[in-house]
Amino acid sequence: MRFDRRVKFTIVILASQLLLIALALTWFIQLFVIARYGSVRFIENNPLILLTELIVAGLICIFSTVVFALQILKLGEKRRSDDRLPR
């Protein structure tokens, strides 16, 4: 299957939206725990797991920044279909 530029960009947008949904769900769960118990305290005793979580969070931040920049650049792009607008 051949992926053209539009399909690749659509896949990137879908991935960014899934990450946004995951972030919102995580935030909701954390706020629910705070409402239920009054506070949240996270402890990670394994430094390897903590480092992995930090790297993954950094990669997600980089990915979301790149997707945001691509979306901003797409706003000014003129498409072939723009010339064929009904008059």
Would you list the domain boundaries of the chain?
A: 5-78
pTM (2 d.p.): 0.61
Neighbours of 17 (CB within 10 A): 11
The pLDDT of residue 83 is above 70:
no
Q: So what's the pLDDT on residue 81? A: 64
| Mean pLDDT in residue range 34-42 | 87
| Mean pLDDT in residue range 81-86 | 61
Does 26 or 2 have the greater pLDDT score?
A: 26
